[in-house]
Each structure stands twice: as structure tokens, then as C-alpha cells.
């Protein structure tokens, strides 16, 4: 088994602008948009949203009105007027979304999901579910492409650092396939002792600070709060059911704990 898997590769696409260079066919694409779409989607699926439907445009999102869906739309870091909420993780609590289907469009994250549809599987990654994601990936036989959503097609540090965290965990089981993976790993190892401190240098952190969502940022940098992996099936993000993962485990009451801690 190990021998067969040696040919698995891991590569990092540092911006959706470079996605056409990555052949996703037959591979697993991990979509990364740390601030905040992939973090909030992971958290929302963990908190028992039935499904989250990623769409590219606000119009597409609006077209689902009156279908008993929650409609969520974020542009440039803000909730779009007239929508139920945006992509703050604190909008994705059990209280608000248990059993609901959410239609979501964001500036970067949902676009990257749509652009990665050629992959064999599309899953979402965030610091919140880092170890669960990596444990699941190592059990698969496919090569992995880590897709950083960035900011409007530009490179951003927080997505790159998360990609580096995944490469660090998988480096002994996968062949590191491109310079993006090397750079991500080295940057993560430089930053990991104080992710928040390191990201004070990032342009996006500055942008989010202006939006007064520092609390969201701190939340999105918490490691291994949950063990849920969202996976794309028939255009919907749902909870990956993996008998070998510890789903429905000891984190069931996490939402309430976190709310009281961070509220």
C-alpha cells in the first residue's frame, strides 16, 4: 500500500489566477480561504448546516430566494445589503443554521470552489479542521492540490500559511511537487509559533482590521477546534462521512463552549 502511494504529490496553487496551470483532473482540491469563507463553511457544516451551496454571483444567490434557504453574501469583507448574513464564522452557529441549507457567495472563496470543479473531490480546509483534514487526506490515494483563494486573485499570506501547515503534516507521505509547496512550508514554519503576530504584516489583516472584525480573525486562526470536513457533492457542500474519522465525537458541544468563550 505504502509503495503504491509514493507517487502521490502535493502542490500549492498560490492564487486562483494560476489555477489553469494545475491539472486538477483525478486529484483532490483543497479550497483555502482562511479569512473567512473556508473557515466559516467548515464551522457551519460542523454546526449541522444541512448543506452550503457555493455560488459565484450575488444574482445567482438571490435567485434562490423563497426556497426556504438562508442567503449569505459577502463582498469586500461586508455583508451585502438585503442578505441574511455574510461570511463571519459567528453567523454559522448551531442556533442559527442547524438543519438549514445556506446559499453563499463570497469575494474569493466560493469563486475558487467553482473554479476547482474539475477535481475528483473538492474539500474545504481551515485551521479549524487542520488535523482532521490531513488525517483524511493521508488515507486517500489521490494527489492533492491546495488552492489558495487569495484576495481578488492576488497572493495572500494567511491562505499560504495554512497550505504550509498541510504540507508540513503530509510531507513524508507525499512528494512535494512544486515551488509553491516549498515556499508555503517554509513560511509556515517561520510563522507557526505566533500565527496572529506574523499575520500582522499581511495586507488582508489590515483590511479586516478596518472592517472591525478582529474577533473573526482570531477565531479563524484557532487550530483543530473541529473535526468536520466539508466536501462538494452535486454542487453542495455537505459533511464528509468518513467512518475512520472521529465525526460526532467529543466536540459536539463545541459551539456552545466557543460562543461563551468568545461571545
Q: Tell whether residue 107 is a contact of a second copy (CB under 8 A).
A: no
Asked if residue 156 binds a second copy (CB under 8 A), the reply is yes
Strand order in 28-32's β-sheet?
Answer: 78-79, 70-75, 101-105, 51-54, 236-239, 230-233, 121-125, 28-32, 144-148, 9-13, 175-176
How deeply is 37 buried, as exposed, middle or buried, from its count of CB atoms within 10 A (0-12, 13-18, 19+)? buried
**160: nearest Cα among 12, 3, 61, 9:** 12
Stretch that binds a second copy, among 26-34, 128-136, 152-160, 238-246 (CB under 8 A): 152-160
- Contact (Cβ atoms closer than 8 angstroms) between residue 155 and residue 129: no
Q: Point out which span in 18-26, 32-40, 65-73, 223-231 binds a second copy (CB under 8 A).
A: 18-26
Interface residues for a second copy in 74-93 (CB under 8 A)? none
Distance in Å, CB of 11 to a second copy, minimum: 9
Among 7, 26, 171, 186, binds a second copy (CB under 8 A): 186
| Residue 151 DSSP code | B
Is 190 a binder of a second copy (CB under 8 A)?
Answer: yes
Question: Candidates 64-72, 138-146, 182-190, 254-262 — which segment interacts with a second copy by CB under 8 A?
Answer: 182-190
Which DSSP symbol is given to 15? S
Other Cβ atoms within 10 Å of 228 Cβ, number: 25
Q: Does 15 bind a second copy (CB under 8 A)?
A: yes
From CA 180, how far away is CA 154, in angstroms rounded?
A: 14
Q: Which of residues 20-79 bind a second copy (CB under 8 A)?
A: 20-21
Site for a second copy, rule CB under 8 A: 14-15, 17-18, 20-21, 152-157, 160, 176-180, 182-183, 186-187, 190, 201-204
Amino acid at each position: 500500500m505504502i509503495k503504491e502511494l509514493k507517487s502521490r504529490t502535493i502542490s500549492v496553487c498560490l492564487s486562483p489566477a494560476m489555477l489553469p496551470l494545475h491539472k486538477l483532473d483525478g486529484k483532490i482540491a483543497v479550497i483555502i480561504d482562511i479569512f473567512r469563507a473556508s473557515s466559516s463553511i467548515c464551522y457551519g457544516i460542523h454546526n449541522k448546516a444541512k448543506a452550503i451551496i457555493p455560488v459565484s454571483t450575488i444574482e445567482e444567490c438571490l435567485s434562490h430566494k423563497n426556497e426556504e434557504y438562508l442567503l449569505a453574501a459577502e463582498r469586500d469583507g461586508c455583508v451585502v445589503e438585503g442578505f441574511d448574513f455574510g461570511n463571519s464564522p459567528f453567523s454559522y452557529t448551531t442556533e442559527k443554521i442547524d438543519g438549514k441549507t445556506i446559499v453563499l457567495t463570497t469575494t474569493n472563496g466560493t469563486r475558487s470552489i467553482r473554479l476547482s470543479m474539475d477535481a475528483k473531490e473538492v474539500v474545504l480546509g481551515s485551521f479549524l479542521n487542520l488535523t482532521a483534514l490531513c488525517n483524511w487526506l493521508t488515507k486517500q490515494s489521490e494527489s492533492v492540490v491546495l488552492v489558495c483563494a487569495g484576495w481578488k486573485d492576488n497572493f495572500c499570506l494567511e491562505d499560504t500559511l495554512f497550505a504550509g501547515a498541510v504540507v508540513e503534516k503530509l510531507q513524508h507521505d507525499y512528494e512535494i511537487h512544486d515551488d509553491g509547496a516549498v515556499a508555503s512550508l517554509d513560511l509556515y514554519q517561520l510563522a507557526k509559533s505566533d500565527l496572529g503576530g506574523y499575520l500582522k504584516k499581511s495586507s488582508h489583516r489590515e483590511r479586516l482590521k478596518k472592517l472591525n472584525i478582529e474577533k473573526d480573525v482570531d477565531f479563524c486562526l484557532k487550530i483543530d477546534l473541529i473535526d468536520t470536513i466539508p466536501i462538494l457533492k452535486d454542487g453542495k457542500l455537505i459533511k464528509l462521512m468518513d467512518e475512520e474519522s472521529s465525526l460526532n465525537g467529543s466536540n459536539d458541544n463545541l459551539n456552545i463552549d466557543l460562543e461563551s468563550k468568545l461571545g
